[in-house]
Amino acid sequence: MSFGAPAFLPIAAALVALGIWSLRHAGRMRDARALAYSEIAFLRRSLGERDIASVLLRAAWIVGIALAGLALARPHVTLPEPIHDGAVVLCIDTSGSMASTDIVPTRAIAARAAAKRFIEAMSAGERVAIVAFSGAASLVQPLTARHSAAIAALDTLPAPNGPTAIGDALALAGTLLGNRGPRTVVLVTDGVNNTGVDPYAAASSLGARGIVVDTVGIGTNSGALIPGTSEAAGIDTGALRAYARAGGGRFVRVENASALRGALGALGRITAFRPTSVDISLGSALCGALLLALATFAAVAFGRIP
pLDDT per residue, tens digit, the chain (306 aa), is 777 777 766 776 776 676 666 656 555 555 555 455 555 555 455 544 455 766 677 777 778 777 777 787 788 877 666 666 789 999 999 999 899 888 889 999 999 999 999 999 888 889 999 999 999 999 999 999 999 999 999 999 999 999 999 999 999 999 999 888 899 999 999 878 999 999 999 999 999 999 999 999 998 876 566 666 667 677 889 999 999 999 999 999 998 889 888 988 888 877 766 666 667 888 888 887 888 788 778 777 766 555
Tell me the pTM: 0.67
For the chain, where do the domains classified as CATH 3.40.50.410 start and end? 84-271
How far is C-alpha 188 from the chain's CA centre?
20
Pick among 1.20.1600.10, 3.40.50.360, 3.40.50.410, 3.30.1130.10: CATH of 84-271? 3.40.50.410
DSSP assignment of the chain: -EES-GGGHHHHHHHHHHHHHHHHHHHHHHHHHHHHHS-HHHHHHHHH---HHHHHHHHHHHHHHHHHHHGGG-EEEEEEEE-SS-EEEEEEE-SGGGG-SSSSS-HHHHHHHHHHHHHHTSPTT-EEEEEEESSSEEEEEEEES-HHHHHHHGGGPPPS-S---HHHHHHHHHHHS-SSS-EEEEEEE-----SSS-HHHHHHHHHHTT-EEEEEEE--SS-PBPTTSS-B----HHHHHHHHHHTT--EEEE-SHHHHHHHHHHHHHHHTEEEEEEE-HHHHHHHHHHHHHHHHHHHHHHT---
pLDDT of residue 79: 63
End-to-end CA distance of the chain: 33
Q: Give the CA angle between residues 130, 136, 140 to the nearest 5°.
A: 20
